[in-house]
Amino acid sequence: MRDPPDIDTLLELAAAGGDAELTSRCRAIAARERANGMAPYEALGAELRALPGGGDRAPDLAALTAAIVDGQFDAAPERERLVRFLWRLALQKLRENNPGFERKKI
């Protein structure tokens, strides 16, 4: 569920040199992802499988997306379950990629 490119690819690019700020961001993302491991995404996967269209055998974001497009979450209570899952997914990725974006008051 993490967005590509994967962190090894990013670190390889960073190692080739370039902008110090970008390189530093890469390393910070890598540190957070390695500290988290896959456990948060396994938990998200379990939650996803419990949603309509979330995958019969394995978590399936494509099937979930198709179910959303199909209108299967337009009404309660599926709607609330979906939104809770989407928030957890978004926050997990944001906290690895740019935690400051969440923390700043707007």
Partner 1 sequence: MNVARVEIATMEPLHGGAVRRHWRVDARVDGIAQSFVLRANGLTPLGFGLELGEEFVLLRVLADETIPVPPPIAFSDDAALVGSPFHLTRLMRGSADPAAIVAAPANEDLAVALGATLAALHRIRPPRAALAFLGRAPADPAAAARARYAALLERTGEARPIAAWALRWLARHAPEPSPPVLCHGDFRTGNYLADAGRLVAILDWEFAHWGDPASDLAWFCARFWRFGQDRRAAGGIADRAVFLGAYEAAGGHPVDEVRLHYWEVMSALKWLAIALLQRDRFLRGGERNLDLALTGRRAAECEFELLRLMEDDARPA
Query: Which parts of this chain interact with partner 1 (CB under 8 A)?
Result: 3-5, 9-10, 13-14, 16, 18-19, 22-23, 25-26, 29, 61-62, 64-65, 68-69, 71, 73-74, 80, 82-84, 86-91, 93-94, 96-98, 101-102, 104-106
Closest CB to partner 1 among 39 and 75? 75
Q: How far is the CB of 99 from partner 1 (least distance, A)?
A: 10
Contact 71, 60 (CB under 8 A): no
Long-range Cβ pairs for the range 74-80 (8 Å, 24+): 78/51, 78/52
Cα distances from 6 to residues 1, 13, 33, 65, 78, in angstroms, run: 11, 11, 10, 22, 32
Closest CB to partner 1 among 49 and 93? 93
